[in-house]
Amino acid sequence: MLIDDVTITVAAGHGGMGAVAFNTNLMSLGPAGGSGGLGGSVFVEGVSDLSALNNFRYRKVHKAKDGENGRPQFKDGHDGVDITLKVPVGTVIHFLTKRSHTEAGSHETKEGEDREIVRVGERILVVQGGRGGKGNFQFRSSTNTSPRQFQEGISGEEATLRLELKLIADVGLIGLPNAGKSSLLNELTNAKSKVANYAFTTLEPNLGAYYELILADLPGLIEGASSGKGLGIKFLRHVERTNTLFHLVSAESEDIADDYKTIRKEIGSYNKALLKKQEYVFLSKTDMVDAKDAKKKLAALKRLNRNVLAVSIHDWDALEKVKKILNKIKEKKIGRENS
């Protein structure tokens, strides 16, 4: 099961306490208390593993190490060890709450600025470790040669984070349940998606690779998905990150135009910008109806969108046409990366 939305709590380490100590060596009497170490910080780092959020399914609290206290003989405490949480590329980090601490007190903010991980290896600081307190050696002066002042360490920052994965794919396969998306993905990429003749076969996004392109089979949408019906908004967000849409409409449908319009309406209700994405429309499963019916339904779709192609996973010529479209998309991607 792919976890693509999880809420966790993160806490940075507290700064260590400064020490109060004095040198007992007669040749160098005076304060000798070391300062506390820095508290460890918490980072989030992008990885290619799409299942990385599964690690947070049961472990909801993550805390970095505290800094060590200062010690006698001018020895500062060691800094606390940072921790790095690995998340899939495409993860949006929502700061639901964040509490910061200073010598003057604490301050809490709610719903801070969202951050997102877009590259493997990208690293974002989410909570910073507290500063270590000064030992009494730092308070020495010409008028106070034996200070007993010291500082306690500052507490580390804390935050509640919502980690939301939005898949980054070159091509997203969309359509009503049982439109043939998984079958087409399998044929093009050997992704081994679950295939069966019933609605909602795909319960989570499936990915496949076609040379340099990533294709995502997005779970079947239905009327009302934008308001949470069926598999709902949980999967509509993945459409946001796809560059091109392959919209499949089953030739077995009784109302081709309505099926097409339903999906367009739902993605538009969720985010109007999605309607501007490049879209190719495929009349799928043409092998399941007679040729005359398929031709009639293809004409109906072409009245709604010019980029329409009849396709069946059993039709080699049709699949070659799909691959030709993918090759053009691939060439454009390579061109952008090299420019």
Q: Are 213 and 141 in contact (CB under 8 A)?
A: no
258 is in an annotated binding site: no
31 is in an annotated binding site: no
147 is in an annotated binding site: no
Phi and psi at 236, nearest 5°, equal -60, -30
CA 40 to chain centre: 24
200 is in an annotated binding site: yes
What is the C-alpha separation between 248 and 178, in angstroms, rounded? 10
Element housing 174 (H / E): strand 169-174
279 is in an annotated binding site: no
What is the C-alpha separation between 228 and 240, in angstroms, rounded? 16
What is the C-alpha separation between 337 and 331, in angstroms, rounded? 10
Beta strands 213-217 and 169-174 are parallel
AA letter at 136:
N
14 is in an annotated binding site: no
313 is in an annotated binding site: yes
Residue 324 DSSP class: H
268 is in an annotated binding site: no
25 is in an annotated binding site: no
CA-wise closest residue to 150 among 14, 23, 31? 31
List of residues 6+ apart from 206 with CB closer than 8 A:
182, 185, 191, 193, 194, 216, 217
18 is in an annotated binding site: no
22 is in an annotated binding site: no
236 is in an annotated binding site: no
AA letter at 184:
L
Angle between helices 316-338 and 181-189 (to 10 degrees): 70
227 is in an annotated binding site: no
314 is in an annotated binding site: yes
286 is in an annotated binding site: yes
Give whole-number Cα distances, 221 to 208, 228, 233, 316, in Å.
20, 10, 9, 28
220 is in an annotated binding site: yes
323 is in an annotated binding site: no
202 is in an annotated binding site: yes
201 is in an annotated binding site: yes
178 is in an annotated binding site: yes
Element housing 95 (H / E): strand 91-102
176 is in an annotated binding site: yes
285 is in an annotated binding site: yes
136 is in an annotated binding site: no
312 is in an annotated binding site: yes
The two tokens of residue 243 are: 């560059």
**Backbone angle region of 84, left / alpha / beta, with phi > 0 → left and psi within -120 to 50 → alpha:** beta
The two tokens of residue 94 are: 């929502």
User: Which residues fall in the annotated binding site for Mg(2+)?
Assistant: 182, 202
User: Which residues fall in the annotated binding site?
Assistant: 175-182, 200-204, 217-220, 284-287, 312-314
User: Which residues fall in the annotated binding site for GTP?
Assistant: 175-182, 200-204, 217-220, 284-287, 312-314
